[in-house]
Amino acid sequence: MSLIEALPIALLGALLGLDVVSFPQAMISRPVVAATLAGAFIGHPPAGLLIGVVLEMIALDTLPFGASRYPEWGSAGVVGGALFGAQPHGMPGALPACLLAALLTASISGWSMVVLRRLIAIRLEQTRDRIEEGSRNALLSLHLSGMSMDLLRGGLVTITAMMIFAPLVRAIVAIWGSDSAPSRAVVVVIAAIVAGAALWKVFHSVRHVLWFFLAGLLVWVGLLVTR
């Protein structure tokens, strides 16, 4: 992938990276949305949706509570969707390799958010006196520069990840040694385990929650039987 080809993807990653915290937190940065949009950019939205759903299940494990540190799924979803959408259909290694690239991007991007927050704190320290005097310009400048840096952060993470992972994923897919069925099975098991455990972590204190889950499973069994 050339730099020019990666630029529109980087722009998408920048915009969706901004949504995670800065603006507007409408959750267009959730992997199911981000990866599908990136897949559509590449011309293959169903592929983007598929990896987006898998990432969404894994992302259930990391909800953005307060000042906690968490992976950043906006840019990661874009990288995963764009990489998977660009792979030839039916290649057994494509989904695991692209998923790994997306998870690594999420981890690095999460770290970049910590760096950004520290940079904003440094800038705040430099303008603290003016803000303590009630300077509108100092406050607006701090706020808008924070948002601009966040936009830049998302774009940089996305373009860097695309430049590194696009050739790497292509090479991995070309020499992939496992069959298609076990390759998919590993991804399905990983997604099921992380999503299941994450939901238990979040909802275990809710009264009667297990009964509701079992009722849902019964509905699924009913659907299986009637289909």
Partner 1 sequence: MTAPTSPGVDLPMRVKFAMYFRLLAMQGSWNYETLNGTGIGFTMEPALRYLPGGLDGPAYRAALARESRYFNAHPYLAGIAVGALVRAELDGVEPARIERFRTALAGPLGSVGDRLVWASWLPFCSLVAIGVYGAGGSPMGVVGTFLLLYNAGHILLRAWGLRIGLSRGLNVASALGNPVLRQGPQYIGCAAALVAGVALPLALQRVAGPGLGLVGGIIGAALIGILLLARLREHAEGWRIALGVLAIFVLYSVLT
Applying the rule CB under 8 A, the residues between 24 and 43 that interact with partner 1 are 24-28, 30, 32-33, 36-37, 39-40
The residue from 1, 7, 11, 21 that contacts partner 1 (CB under 8 A) is: 21
Which of 7, 156, 163, 184 binds partner 1 (CB under 8 A)? It is 184
| Count of residues interacting with partner 1 (CB under 8 A) | 108
100 touches partner 1 by CB under 8 A: yes
Taking CB under 8 A as the binding criterion, the range among 1-9, 156-164, 200-208 that sits at the site for partner 1 is: 200-208
**Among 11, 117, 156, 164, interactor with partner 1 by CB under 8 A:** 117
Complex with partner 1: residue 124 or 164, whichever CB lies closer: 124
What would the two tokens of residue 27 be?
């959750």
Residues 118-137 binding partner 1 (CB under 8 A) are 118, 120-121, 124-125, 131-136
Least distance CB 3 / partner 1 (angstroms): 26
User: Under a CB-based contact definition with an 8 Å cutoff, are residues 91 and 131 in contact?
Assistant: no
Burial of 153 (0-12, 13-18, 19+ CB in 10 A): buried
Distance CA 81, CA 36 (A): 6
Q: Which of residues 47-86 bind partner 1 (CB under 8 A)?
A: 48-50, 53-54, 56-67, 71
Closest CA to 105 of 120, 84, 122: 84
Specify the stretch interacting with partner 1 by CB under 8 A; choose among 7-15, 155-163, 215-223. Answer: 215-223
